[in-house]
Structure 1
Amino acid sequence: MGEAPHGVVLRPMTEHDVPLIHRWLQAPHLAEWWGDAGFTLAETQAGYSPAVMAADQVTPYIAMRGGRAIGFAQSYLAMGSGDGWWDFVTDPGVRGIDQFLAHGEDLGQGLGTQMVEALVELLFRDPAVTLIQTDPDPGNHRAIRCYEKAGFRAVEIVTTPAGPALYMVRERKAHPL
């Protein structure tokens, strides 16, 4: 599990978490940016089953804080994602991330930044990971600020299969000699 200094823990998502994800996706603060609010439970199962995600080289997590599930996070191998995603990525060490806070009342409390930091820390434990990328909607200023606070820098606006996105990256920090 990945844990940030602030106590956000990432645990592997299980099949038992799919109904929870389905409920979370109906929240208005997620429907605006995530896009899966109209899914049926069966559609959520088809898209968020950990086994299905693993086949696509995606690793899902449930973010926990103080024993309470607060959100969802995922990491994926960027190179070779297919379907028009990240065709320019040629480094097999690049990982992409996406995440959301489940509860609207948790927004603006710094938990999103803590969750991103926990995910970054977890991914960079693997020495094969060279860079972490993310792609918020250019209009999602809350997400962009969250990533900036977690050490990401904006690179450029890119066109993805889901539309325009702000391509942001976080490099591995060099260790002092």
Structure 2
Amino acid sequence: MELRGDRVVLRPVADGEGAELDRIVREPEVAMWWAPPAGYADMLAVVLDGEVIGAVQFAEETDPEFRHAGIDIFLTARRQGEGLGTDAVRTLARWLVHERGHHRLTIDPAAANTAAIRSYGKVGFKPVGIMRAYGRDHRTGSWQDGLLMDLLAEELTDDQEYPYR
């Protein structure tokens, strides 16, 4: 599978890319929001001009009564603020809506992560509410509030079709 956005490509993480993703997730600007995962096999690499700059993952609820998908993403600090995260999330959101048939998507950044919240808003995600003491800060052990955001399929911004492979 390969998903093409305006600038980034999303594809399965290749053998040997785990070390680069480990380095990225340990950057102070990334580590404040992400704990190092156990592995990257279930993630998609975010690639810009052939360089892995982060990873994105999704989870699907397949119960027809509650069908939806959730998204998470991290990018290297040196490429943040360039719209690449927005492009990656929008690209994955389009695929989840158009190819996987989801009518609703969720994303749940830390409530203090204003840059991420702003990025997700550009895709069309809207705040639903604060989830108090939602996630544990892996560095301090303290609990952080999270912001639940969702996006309905008809609210997806800039909704042109992208080629999926």
TM-score by length of 2: 0.79
Q: List runs of 5+ in structure 1 lacking aligned partners.
A: 37-43, 51-58, 81-89
| Higher RCO (Cα < 8 Å, 6 or more apart) | 2
Report the AA paired with residue 82 of structure 2.
Answer: Q
Which of 116, 125, 131 aligns to 1:143? It is 116
From the two aligned structures, give the one with the greater helix fraction. 1
Contact 2:108 2:148 in 1 (8 A): yes
1:139 counterpart letter in structure 2: A
Match of 1:30 in 2: 30
Specify the code of the residue in structure 2 equivalent to 1:171: L
Aligned twin of 1:68: 51
Q: Distance in 2 between matches of 1:49 and 1:7?
A: 22
Tell me, in whole angstroms, the C-alpha distance in 2 between the residues paired with 1:108 and 1:141: 12
SS class of match (1:48): coil
Selected match of 2:70 from 96, 104, 115: 96
Structure 2 counterpart of 1:48, one-letter code: G
CA gap 1:11/1:139 in 2 versus in 1, 3 angstroms: same
CA distance in 1, matches of 2:125, 2:43: 21
Name the residue aligned to 1:172: 153
5+ long unaligned stretches in structure 2: 137-143, 160-165
Question: Alignment partner for residue 113 of structure 1, among 83, 86, 89?
Answer: 86
CA offsets 1:116-152 (integer angstroms, 9 cap, x no match)? 1111122123243221100000000000000001110
**TM-score normalized by the length of structure 1:** 0.74
Kept in 2: contact 1:73–1:97 (CA 8 A): yes
Give 1:78 shift.
4.4
- Would the aligned equivalents of 1:2 and 1:121 in 2 still touch at CA under 8 Å? no
* Matched residue, 1:7: 7
Corresponding pairs, count: 146
Structure 1 residues 143 and 96: CA distance shift in structure 2, 3 A:
same
Does structure 1 conserve the Cα–Cα contact (< 8 Å) formed by 2:135 and 2:146? no
Question: How far apart, in 2, do the equivalents of 1:74 and 1:3 lie?
Answer: 15
